[in-house]
Structure 1
Amino acid sequence: MTTDSFVKRVYDTDLSPSRSVSYLSRPRESAGMEQVFAPWRIEWVRREEKNPDIDECVLCELPERADARENLVVARSERAYVLLNNAPYNPGHLMVVPLAHGGEYAALDDDALLDHARLKQRAFDALDEAVGPDAYNAGLNLGGGPAGGSIDDHLHTHVVPRFDGDTNFMPVISDTKVVVEALEETYDRLHDAFADQPGATVPGEDAAVELAFD
């Protein structure tokens, strides 16, 4: 399946009036930036148990679990890792996360800061190959509260692929199963793209791609 047909399949869903009338609208504009409208995230936001099987920090625990694929950890370096967002705004929405726990960007030491930046650069390369977006939004939510981050004690950079037309009108995915299927396929595509990069090793099919920087 080509990148174009993959993205098209994610968006080609039931848009009958009964499904769409409550949600379809143009995105709001805030501070001059157009926002992605992703109503399929509502179910995830409203879930009663946030992470029922995790007692401590979810971003600390996920990279330590044995099955990286099941936990959406697609690549990792010495001091950071790449995690697919399980309620994506767009196909390919991922997060680049330092392994060190902490919510203060200024607290990252030089090695962690450089490693995080280099892994983020590799993430853009992998997304270019795997998803082929027209643009990106990337940034951090720091401090919680007005910043809007759901996890404010372990910083992470969101990378959201953008496609021509999605700032004007985002279709509703009326069945959350469609999102799950797309997420699994996105993981496979990104896993392959990271594996093709210089210095990459693949310990196993269900393991995150390991990247070594010079």
Structure 2
Amino acid sequence: MQRLWVPHRMVYVADQHQPDHHDCPFCEAPARSDADALIVARGETAYVLLNLFPYNSGHLLVCPYRHVSMYDEATPEEVAEIAALTQTAMRVAREVLGCHGFNIGMNQGQIAGAGVAAHLHQHIVPRWESDANFFPIIAQTKALPQLLGDVRESLAAAWPHP
């Protein structure tokens, strides 16, 4: 039997701490370089970054800069930009990654499965016709064919600039 070791996932699995505005990774990310924070694009009220613990290659998150936890707390401007960034992310992911579909959604609150419940974020998970297998079920492991930094570079390079 072969094993695929993914020790970087242990940080996510073992850490049940819910950050607040003092240690929120989505508040801290914009202060770092794009490459270091895995930021793909920055808007006026929101930004796009790769998920550090992706469900699939190219798993993106769209976050407002402002620290709000629920969708109904977002301003109309934030909602509009989150939607526009999501649409652009889909177009860029189809072009760069060649994906066939997407899972898009928000988990609102810790009880609903939000890993970082205190800061609103929308998931954009690229999907391919052949990406479903029993590996995650049997081995509880997801094999990702590309490094996060390489995916970020590809997506950022293809992102349209106004």
Shorter-chain TM-score tier: 0.7 to 0.9
Question: Higher Cα Rg: structure 1 or 2?
Answer: 1
Q: Where does structure 2 lack aligned partners over 5 or more consecutive residues?
A: none
2:29 to 62, 81, 103: 62
Q: Give the TM-score of the pair, scaled to structure 2.
A: 0.83
Are 1:92 and 2:76 counterparts?
no
Q: Counterpart of 1:18 in 2: which secondary structure?
A: coil
Are 1:151 and 2:105 counterparts?
no
Identity %: 34
In the TM superposition, what is the alpha-carbon distance from 1:129 to its structure 2 partner?
1.3
RMSD: 3.0
In the TM superposition, what is the alpha-carbon distance from 1:91 to its structure 2 partner?
0.8
- Tell me which residue corresponds to 2:132: 167
Q: Counterpart of 2:37 in 1: which secondary structure?
A: coil
Kept in 2: contact 1:173–1:179 (CA 8 A): no
- Tell me which residue corresponds to 1:122: 88
Corresponding letter in the other structure for 1:56? D
Q: Where does structure 1 lack aligned partners over 5 or more consecutive residues?
A: 1-16, 21-38, 200-214
- 1:117-174 per-position Cα deviation (integer Å, ceiling 9, x unaligned): 11111111111111111111010000112x1111111110011111113234347798
Q: Counterpart of 2:120 in 1: which secondary structure?
A: coil
CA–CA distance in structure 2, aligned partners of residues 160 and 134 of structure 1: 11
Q: Counterpart of 2:62 in 1: which secondary structure?
A: strand
CA–CA distance in structure 2, aligned partners of residues 55 and 113 of structure 1: 24
- 1:72-109 per-position Cα deviation (integer Å, ceiling 9, x unaligned): 11101101000101121111001011111111211111
Correspondence 1:46-57 to 2 at 5 A: 46-47=13-14, 55-57=22-24
In the TM superposition, what is the alpha-carbon distance from 1:115 to its structure 2 partner?
1.0
Q: Give the TM-score of the pair, scaled to structure 1.
A: 0.64
CA–CA distance in structure 2, aligned partners of residues 121 and 130 of structure 1: 14
CA–CA distance in structure 2, aligned partners of residues 104 and 198 of structure 1: 29
Correspondence 1:124-203 to 2 at 5 A: 124-145=90-111, 147-170=112-135, 182-194=147-159, 197-199=160-162
Q: Counterpart of 1:70 in 2: which secondary structure?
A: helix
1:75 to 41, 47, 69: 41
Q: Counterpart of 2:34 in 1: which secondary structure?
A: coil
CA–CA distance in structure 1, aligned partners of residues 15 and 74 of structure 2: 33
CA–CA distance in structure 2, aligned partners of residues 120 and 153 of structure 1: 20
